Amino acid sequence: MPVYSYADAVRESVWVNTPLDNDRDGVPDRVAVDVVRPRETADRGLKIPVILEASPYYSCCGRGNESERKQYDANGVITKQPLFYDNYFVPRGYAFVAADLAGTNRSTGCMDVGGREEVLSAKAVVDWLNGRATATYADGTPAVATTWTNGRTGMIGKSWDGSVANGVAATGVRGLETIVPIAAISSWYDYQRYNGVLRSPDYPEYLHRYVNGRPGTTCAPVVQQLDEGSDDATGNYNDYWAERDYRRDAGRVRASVLIAHGLNDTNVTTGQFAQWWSRLNVPKKVWLAQQGHVDPFDIRRDAWVALLHRWFDRYLQGLRNGIDREPQVTIETAPGTWVSERTWPAAAARKTRVALGDGDGVTGTLGGGSTSGSRTWTDNPDLSEQAAVAAPNSTVPGRVAFLSAPLTREVRVSGTPSVTLRVKVDQPTTELTARLVDYGTATRVNFDGRGEGITTLATESCWGASTALDDACYRDTAEDVVTNDLAVLARGWQDAAHHVSLRFVTPLRPGKWYSVTVPMQATDQRIAAGHVLGLIIQASDDEYSSPQSGGATITLDLRASALTLPLAGALPKPGATAPIVSTAPPAKRTAPPRFQPLLP
């Protein structure tokens, strides 16, 4: 219950010492940490748990839908923390701690974008809270946390902030009892590469500069390391990326995990949560919404705050409130419709192989197989997603289309689809792009819109206590919905020369047949009766990636190619030709996906 005074809370700024020195100044790097905690607990000698958000965004860009930044008084002591966590949880007996990641805002060191410095700088804060690291105030006097905290820490954050929570949990650090990663990265390779395909050139260096808080050329050597280690030239997975792959150490995670992710997030794509989730062997829960890169606080505010409150009470306060015995999964199945389920992917989903059929010679079928069919097309770098998925019964240069018959009953795709293509290419490599499409009119969340599925309203609601300098009130939001004729359910990309391994390039020999599997992003969607499921295949995708090769001519052997779906239900048997689907193209995207930074 909110029994402690937020207005009288202790507000202090400290600097935590780390064992690192990647800015090479001969002094251990220090992490700036801003604390808000109930004064009454200190007066009574009570020790309380901590909610920690470690972020690179506190000064450069802000947090939340309203881009709030930290604010300080004339003495450099925190007066305003972004977001509602301190306003809501400090009166309920928690401390809130906001840490500037190394190289950002008031911290020293240099940001290494998901690497050792970033993760260990945040881990040092957990160590300080548990008496294993030292800190000082601005005047150099010691700052000791164990006088007011029991060390039980929960990390939370959206996007980059949630990614570092994943990274710290993967160290197995003691005292970290739970994490809440929201739209978070679990593998930086998969964020900046799509199976060997470059997302955007010089992306690590771009992200470093976006959040860098150090003067001049202090971090030039680190930027050079980012450039060399990320290896744009090959797209290979190497030691640089392995250091930033938290999934490898999922077995070391001790903390419980509450995940939230948008099923239509094209910034931090859904494979990030799905592959992390599947490797965790701890108490866990997941919320999946139909939005894009959006915090659940701005989707379903009442329910999300209530869930967070119960989750932290259970895993930080130790209250046996039953949340650990409730269904693991909460999914938005349609705008405003939420269901709870026992597991994810859906228990009823089965891996289903769907053959690619000849169809009418223009559009193939999903199911039915092929006698001696093939398709040949030439890469069209200018082909947008909008044009690629529209008019599936027409010839569109640069893409091939396959359609199911109209569904006789609803089916559900729950998990990670993929398509295996038997191809012959006239160049040493090509990008291969696959899209799974639901053709049929429905009212859907407008995740392609400017708000990625939400609209910000003029009204406000308050979530916790306020002061004159830090209020708990935020503009309300509503789901942004649209009625349209189709929706892209999942996307996937693969560099054909990485078909053997992501660690090295195996150039294709022109004229030779190869089997290349294109993994798609995880999804959970229901396709209504009467709708048609489509598979669209093209080569390079300049909208979502930065292809390093283009112009290839590709021949696809239908007999040796197939779509693999995690399917609950069954697709109908195809007819002799692909069904006619009359669809208008989707609305033009208003938020370009390729160069989005990690903030909202």
- At residue 63, φ and ψ (nearest 5 deg) are -125, 150
Catalytic, 531? Answer: no
Which of 208, 261, 293, 498 is catalytic? The answer is 293
Which residue type sits at 24? Answer: R
How far is residue 76's CA from residue 282's CA, in Å, rounded to a whole number?
A: 40
Catalytic, 293? Answer: yes
Collapsing DSSP to helix, strand or coil, 214 comes out as: coil
Q: How far is CA 434 from CA 2, 21, 51, in A?
A: 51, 44, 41
- At residue 239, φ and ψ (nearest 5 deg) are -65, -35
Element spanning 99, H or E: strand 95-100
Q: Where does residue 202 rank: exposed (0-12), middle (13-18), buried (19+ CB within 10 A)?
A: middle
Query: Which of 564, 571, 570 has the alpha carbon at shortest distance from 353?
Result: 564
CB 347 within 8 A of CB 361: no
How far is residue 522's CA from residue 553's CA, in Å, rounded to a whole number?
A: 29
Q: Where does residue 238 rank: exposed (0-12), middle (13-18), buried (19+ CB within 10 A)?
A: middle
DSSP 328: S
Which of 121, 159, 414, 546 is catalytic? The answer is 159
Which of 23, 127, 245, 265 is catalytic? The answer is 265
CB 355 within 8 A of CB 562: yes
How many distinct helices (H) and strands (E) make up the chain?
Answer: 11, 29
CB 437 within 8 A of CB 487: yes
Query: Which residues are within 8 A (CB) of 481 and not within 5 positions of it... i.e. 6 or more apart?
Result: 335, 443, 444, 445, 446
Catalytic, 265? Answer: yes
CB 59 within 8 A of CB 103: no
**Rounded to the nearest 5 degrees, what angle is found at the Cα of 251, between the Cα atoms of 246 and 257?**
75
Query: Which of 67, 292, 276 has the alpha carbon at shortest distance from 180?
Result: 276
Query: Which residues are within 8 A (CB) of 295 and not within 5 positions of it... i.e. 6 or more apart?
Result: 64, 65, 158, 182, 183, 260, 600
For the residues of 1-63, what is the DSSP string, one character each?
---S-STT-EEEEEEEE-S--TT-SSS--EEEEEEEE-HHHHHHT--EEEEEEEES-TTTT-B
How far is residue 543's CA from residue 563's CA, in Å, rounded to a whole number?
A: 23
Which residue type sits at 208? Answer: H
Active site residues: 159, 265, 293
